[in-house]
A and B are shown apart, each in its own frame.
Chain A
Amino acid sequence: MEKKKLTIALTGNPNSGKTTVFNNLTGTRQRVGNWPGVTVEKKEGNLNYKDYSIKVVDLPGVYSLTAYSLDEIIARNYIVDEKPGVVVDVVDASNLERNLYLTVQLLEMQTNLVISLNMMDVAESKEYRIDVSELSRLLGAPVVPMVAARNQGTQELLQTVIDVAEGSIRVKGINLNYGHVVEEEIEKLEKLISGSALADGYSPRWLAVKLLEEDKEIEKKIGHA
C-alpha cells in the first residue's frame, strides 16, 4: 500500500536539544544542504511511522520569529510559505519561560503545533514541577514530555504528530489579546488586508500584527503585492 506523506518542521530555541530530537527521529537518514540563496545549512531526514512516510525539516534554532536575523527569517518563511503538516516546537523544560516566547509566536501564526517538552530530567533536577496537562490546555496545543538525550518520548511525539495531522487532536491555539488600544488598530488593518490580494494564504490578523511590529519582510511583501 502507498504510504501517506507528511512533512514536519522542527523548530526551537538554540540549546533546547532540537538537534538531538532530530537525530532520534531520523537516525542516519539525513541529508544536509543549503537553504535556497543563503549559506545557512538545511538538514532534512526521513522516517517511516505506521502508514506514514514522514519528512522532517530541521529549521535553524531561534528565540523569536521577528525578522531580525537570517535564521529567524528562514524559519518563519518556511513555516509561512511551505506550510508543513505539523510544526514541532522543542522547548527546554528547565527554561520554560524563555522558550515559550517562540511557542507563543508559533501559535499566533496558527500553525499545527506540537510541543516537545524536552529536558524534563534537567527540570526535575532543579526541582521544578510542571503541570503538563494544564500547560497543554492553556496553550491549546498538545505537549509531549521528553528526555531526548536518553531517547525518551520519541514514540509518543510521533504518535501525537500523527494524531494532529489526522485531526484526532485539534490544535486550538491561543487568542492572544494585545490590549484594547492595540487591538483597535489591529482591527482596522485587518479589514483593509482582508479586502486586498495579500490575504491569500496568510491570516489577516497575523499580517496586521506583523505590520504594527514594523516587520521589514512583510512590508516588502506589501510592496510587491
Chain B
Amino acid sequence: MSDGEIINTRNDSLAHLRRIHGDDAETMIADARYGFISGLMQDVLEKPSVAKVTMTDRIDRLMLNRWLGIPLFLVILFGVFQFTFTVSTPLIDWISRGMDWLAEQAAVISPAWLGSLLSDGVIGGVGAVLTFIPIIFLLYIAMSILEDTGYLARAAFVMDRLMHRLGLHGRSFVTLMLGFGCSVAAIMSSRTIENPKDRLATILVTPLMSCGGRLPIYVLLAAAFFTAHQGLVVFGMYAIGVILAILLAWLFRKKLLSGESGHFVMELPPYRLPTITGVLAHAWEHGKAFLIRAGTLIFGAVVIIWFLNYFNVLDNIGRAIAPVFSTAGFGQWQAAVALIFGVLAKETVVGTFGTLFPATEGTAGFGAVLGTELGWTPLIAFAFMAMVLLYIPCVATLGIIRKETGSWKWTFFAFGYTLVLGWLVATLIYQIGSLFA
C-alpha cells in the first residue's frame, strides 16, 4: 500500500465525517473520550450532595471576580513592590556605607595604581552591584510567594480575557510575570504554550519585563532623583515594561506571526500556604545566580573598564557612541560606556558607574554624583531607566532566545527591535518631558 493512499483515504474520511456530522473527527474522538470518562465517573465517584465550598473557592470568588480581578492584581503587585522597596532601602544604605569604608581602606594600598584598581575598580564596581543584594533577595522571595501560593496562575487567569482580545492567551502572561524574576527562566517556561506562534511572540517580548538585574539601576536613580516618589517611579518602570510587552506581542502576532491562537484550559491549582524552606530555596536559586554573576562576569567587566579608563581609552569608545543618545538627554560618554557593558548583564550599568564615579555617602550620594558630574535631571534619569529597561536583552537572555527559538534570525530580531524601542522611548520621554519642564 502506498502512503499517499493512506493520506487520501484519511482525507476522504475527514470530509465524509464533516459532511454527515458537521464536526471535525478530532472533536468527535475527544467527545468519545469525555463520554467514556463521565460515564465512568458516575460509577466510581460519590461526591457530597452539597459540594463543600473550599477556602480556595472563597478566595477565588474575590480574586477572579470579573470587575475586581485586574484591580486586585495591580494592588497586589504594587504591594509586593512597596514591601521589597521599603524593607530593603535601609539595608542597602548600610551596605553601601560599608562598601565606601572598604574602598577608603583599599585606596591607600600601594602602588597607587593597585590601590585605585581595588578601590575604584573592584570595590567601586562589584561593590556597587553587591549593595543591592537585599532588594534582589526580597524580590525573589516575594515572587516565590506569589508563585507557590498559586496566585500567579490567578493573575494569568484574570488577564486571559484581555490577552485573548489581543490574540494571545493567559499562559503567555505567566511567562511575562516570571520575567519579573529573570528573563532566562521565564523564556524557558514558555514551552507550556502550545501554539508555536504564540510561543515565539511571547519569547520575543519577555525581555521587556523588568527583571531583578534592572532593579539596582532603578533603585540607585530613584533614590537620587525622586526622593519623595521612589516607589511610584520604579512601579512606573514595571508598568512601562508590561504595557509595551503586551502591545508588541499583539503587534508581532498580527504583523509577523499571523494565525489562529491556541485553545487551552487554564489550570487553577488550589491555594497553598507556601513553606518557608520552599520560598527561601526558590529565592536562593535566583539570588545565587546574581551573586555568581557579580563575582565573575561583572568582576571581569569592571576590571576591563578600570584598565580602559586608566589608559584613557574608555572615554574615546564612549564618545564614539554617545551622540546617538543625546536626543534622550544622556549623551555623555560615561552613560554610553555603561550601556555597552550593560549588555553583559544589566546590573553592570551600576557597576560601571561605581567604577567611574568612586562613590560617597551611601546610595543617595552615589546617584547624586550623576547629577553633579553628568548634569542629569530627574527627567534624564527617568529616560535612562527606560533605556536600561528596554534596550538589548542581556547576553544570557539572547543565548536562551537562540536556544529556544532555534533561530539566529529571531535572536538578531530581538537584539535589534529592543535597541530601537529603547532609544525611541527614552527619546520620547526626554523630548516630551522637556516641553513641560
Residues of A within 8 A of B (CB): 14-15, 39-40, 63, 68-71, 96-97, 100-101, 104-105, 122, 126-132, 134-135, 138-139, 174, 176-179, 181-182, 185, 188-189, 192-193, 195-196, 198, 209, 211-214, 219, 222-223, 225
Contacts and interface: CB of A to CB of B under 8 A. Distances in A.
Contact of A181 (B21, B26, B54): B21
A135 B44 contact: yes
Interface stretch (B12-20, B90-98, B140-148, B214-222): B12-20
B432 interface: no
Sorted nearest first, the 4 A-B pairs with minimum C-beta distance are: A185-B13, A212-B25, A129-B46, A127-B48
Contacts of B193: 69
Contacts of A192: 1, 5-6, 9
Interface in B13-54: 13-14, 16-17, 20-21, 24-26, 28-29, 32-34, 36-38, 40-41, 43-48, 52, 54
Contact of A178 (B9, B29, B270): B29
A182 B17 contact: yes
Nearest to A103: B37
14 contacts: A14-B267, A69-B194, A96-B45, A97-B37, A122-B270, A130-B45, A131-B45, A132-B44, A135-B44, A176-B33, A185-B17, A189-B13, A198-B6, A214-B26
B29 A209 contact: yes
Q: How large is the interface on B (under 10, 10 to 19, 20 to 34, 35 or more residues)?
A: 35 or more
A15 B267 contact: yes
A127 B44 contact: no
Contact of A127 (B10, B36, B52, B194): B52
A130 B48 CA distance: 12
A212 B45 CA distance: 32
B3 A198 contact: yes
A217 to B, nearest CB: 14
Nearest to A219: B7
B256 interface: no
Given A179-B28, A182-B25, A213-B25, A225 B45 contact: no
A69 B40 CA distance: 28
B32 A101 contact: no
A49 B48 CA distance: 39
A100 B191 CA distance: 23
Contacts of A40: 191
Interface string B291-328: 00000000000000000000000000000000000000
B269 interface: yes
Interface string B368-388: 000000000000000000000
Given A39-B404, A126-B52, A214-B14, A63 B43 contact: no
B136 to A, nearest CB: 25
A202 to B, nearest CB: 13
B26 A212 contact: yes
Given A69-B194, A100-B40, A196 B6 contact: yes
A62 to B, nearest CB: 9
B265 interface: yes
B79 interface: no
B188 interface: yes
A126 B54 contact: yes
Contacts of B14: 212, 214
A182 B28 CA distance: 8
Q: Which of A70, A209, A222 has the most CB of B within 10 A?
A: A70
B258 interface: no
A182 B46 contact: no
A189 B399 CA distance: 45
Nearest to B6: A192
Contacts of A100: 37, 40-41
B53 to A, nearest CB: 10
B262 interface: yes
Given A14-B267, A195-B1, A222 B188 contact: no
A126 B48 CA distance: 8
B25 A185 contact: yes
B267 A131 contact: no
A214 B15 CA distance: 12
B92 to A, nearest CB: 35
Contact of B44 (A130, A179, A185, A188): A130
